[in-house]
Structures are given as C-alpha cells and as structure tokens.
C-alpha cells in the first residue's frame, strides 16, 4: 500500500501531528428476539454467550445439526425446550410497535430465578452453556471407556447435593435482589392501607434498615395486588416474598 504508515519510525513519547474527525450518531439497542429466533440462537449459542474456547470446541463437535456452530440441545429437543419455557411461564410473547411478529420477553419468574442462581457460586454453571459442555465431556469419556456410567452419575449426584446445600444455605426468596425487576418497573406503591406482617421490622439483611410495605398495582403483573416488604436503607437491596392478604 503506497500510503501505508511506517510505524517502525515511531518511539514511545514521539510527537505526531494528525487529524481527528467527530461523527455524530447514537447507539441502537439490540433488537428483541421473536420466537423463530430462539432455535437459531440455541444452534449458535457461542455467538451470544461468553464461552471458553475448550467448551465452545466441544459444543461445535457435538452439535447434532452438523452446522459446525457451538450449540446447545439437539435438533429434536430444542423446540420442546422452548415450548416448555413458554408453558411454564418463563417466557411470554408481547406485541411490539412496528413488529409483525410478537417479541419474546422474560417473565418476572425467569428474571427472579436467573438472579437467584447467579448469586450462588455452584449454581452459576446452570445458567451457562458450559453445563452442556461438561455433560458432553462426561458422555464422551463413557464412550471411550475412561469412566463408567455409574461414575458419571455419581459425579452428577455429588454436584446436585452440593448445589442443594449451597442454595439452602441462604434461604432467601427467589425475588431477592431487585424488587422492580420482579414486580414490574414502576408498579409499586408504599402508601397502601394494607400492611405486610413484617412491616416495621428490622431488616434481616443489613440489620439497620426498616421494612416497609409495598404493593404491586400494575394489572399486567403476575404479582398484581400482592404485598411485599423492602428495606428503607438505600444501600440495602433486600425485599421479601409476595403475599396476598
């Protein structure tokens, strides 16, 4: 290239004269997914999730579609998994302005579950494609005769036991952490006549704040009409389970 810059002539601390240009623009948020996108995402999960090179290589090798992409699930099971997420209330469809197809949104329950699992060190692998890679590695070791099926099951048993221990060691309710994410942003009010049984009590988490009654008033929320308590300490993120009086 005739106009290529020879950077070998520069040293640390060298002064240079150049031109800079400012181009105005604005960032655009990622587009929402529609239902048809979900199977494609599962087939190429490595594109959307942060996966280590070794785990990605395993997922590419084991991808049943033969696409060569780091995927999770199989061509036969992906549709069933997605259907179950909708049936069990973890995902729902919402009509969006300017969209022909409804977009897919995570429900309050799925957000709460994700946040709960992400708080537990052992459970974090459950919300990562790495879990699939680890299982595939175990099945491959069985095929090669490196371990027996019983040994593989024993490893799973120990993992589940440790997971159960870790999850029950901190018995917070699944909505712990971000009340507005669980109740629906802008849906709560504290000036309600009803009072939660824990209203006025000392916060169990920070041991400093006072618990205040909150009520979900947005009709679209699955927690509509229910009460919960949150800590009035701005530095504390505790809030309690939903109840219906």
Give residue 150's pLDDT.
96
pLDDT value, residue 151: 96
State mean pLDDT over 198-213: 86
Q: Is residue 63 part of a domain?
A: yes
Distance CA 122, CA 115 (A): 13
Helix (H, G, I), strand (E, B) or coil at 45: helix
43 and 112 within one domain: yes
The residue from 132, 148, 169 where one domain ends is 169
222 lies in which domain range? 180-245
161 and 187 part of one domain: no
Element (H, E) at 61: helix 53-62
Beta strand ranges found along 148-217 (DSSP E)? 188-189, 211-216
Who has greater pLDDT, 119 or 189?
119
d(CA 33, CA 224): 26
The answer to whether 206 touches 231, Cβ cutoff 8 Å, is: yes
Question: Given the structure tokens 């049943």, which residue do they identify?
Answer: 64
Distance of alpha carbon 100 from alpha carbon 122, whole angstroms: 41
In a domain, 132, yes or no: yes
Rounded to an integer, what distance in angstroms lies between the CA atom of residue 186 and that of residue 218?
8
In a domain, 25, yes or no: no
Q: Quick one: average pLDDT of 150-157?
A: 95
Note whether residue 4 is domain-resident: no
Could you give the count of Cα atoms lying within 13 Å of 213 in the half-sphere of its Cβ? 18
Q: For residues 216 and 151, state if they share a domain.
A: no
Query: Considering 122, 139, 169, which residue would you say is the last residue of a domain?
Result: 169
SS3 state at 91: strand
> 163 and 100: one domain?
yes
**Is 28 inside any structural domain?**
no
Confidence of residue 217 (pLDDT cuts 50, 70, 90): confident
What pLDDT is attached to residue 218? Answer: 67
Supply the CATH number for residue 62's domain: 1.10.460.10
Query: Are both 141 and 216 inside the same structural domain?
Result: no
Do residues 230 and 161 share a domain? no
| Residues 153 and 187 both lie in one domain | no
Do 45 and 136 lie in one domain? The reply is yes
Query: Is 80 exceeded by the pLDDT of residue 119?
Result: no
Q: Are residue 159 and residue 199 in the same domain, yes or no?
A: no
> Does 145 lie in the same domain as 185?
no
Answer yes or no: is 18 within a domain.
no
**What's the mean pLDDT in 205-210?**
86
Q: Could you tell me if residue 237 is inside a domain?
A: yes
- 227-231 and 211-216: which strand pairing? antiparallel
User: Which pTM value belongs to this model?
Assistant: 0.57
Same domain as 235, residue 145: no
Q: Would you give the DSSP letter of residue 229?
A: E
Domain assignment present for 71? yes
Residues 101 and 205 in one domain: no
Structurally, the chain folds into a number of domains equal to 2
169, 204, 231 - which closes a domain? 169
């Amino acid at each position: 290239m005739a106009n290529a810059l020879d950077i070998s002539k520069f040293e640390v601390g060298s002064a240079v004269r150049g031109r800079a240009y400012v181009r105005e623009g604005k960032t655009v948020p990622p587009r929402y997914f529609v239902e048809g996108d979900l199977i494609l995402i599962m087939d190429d999960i490595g594109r959307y999730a942060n996966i280590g090179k070794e785990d990605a290589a395993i997922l590419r090798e084991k991808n049943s579609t033969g696409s060569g992409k780091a995927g999770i699930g199989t061509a036969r099971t992906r549709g069933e998994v997605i259907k179950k997420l909708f049936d069990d209330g973890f995902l729902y469809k919402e009509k969006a302005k300017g969209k022909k197809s409804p977009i897919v949104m995570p429900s309050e329950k799925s957000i709460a579950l994700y946040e709960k699992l992400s708080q537990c060190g052992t459970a974090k692998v459950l919300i990562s494609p790495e879990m699939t890679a680890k299982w595939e590695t175990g099945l491959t070791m069985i095929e090669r005769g490196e371990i027996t099926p019983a040994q593989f099951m024993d490893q799973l048993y120990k993992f589940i036991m440790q997971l159960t221990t870790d999850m029950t060691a901190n018995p917070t309710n699944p909505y712990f952490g971000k009340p507005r994410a669980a109740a629906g942003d802008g849906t709560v009010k504290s000036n309600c006549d009803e009072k939660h049984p824990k209203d006025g009590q000392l916060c169990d988490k920070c041991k400093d704040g006072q618990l205040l009654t909150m009520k979900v008033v947005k009709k679209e929320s699955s927690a509509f009409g229910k009460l919960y308590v949150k800590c009035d300490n701005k530095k504390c993120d505790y809030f309690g389970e939903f109840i219906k009086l």
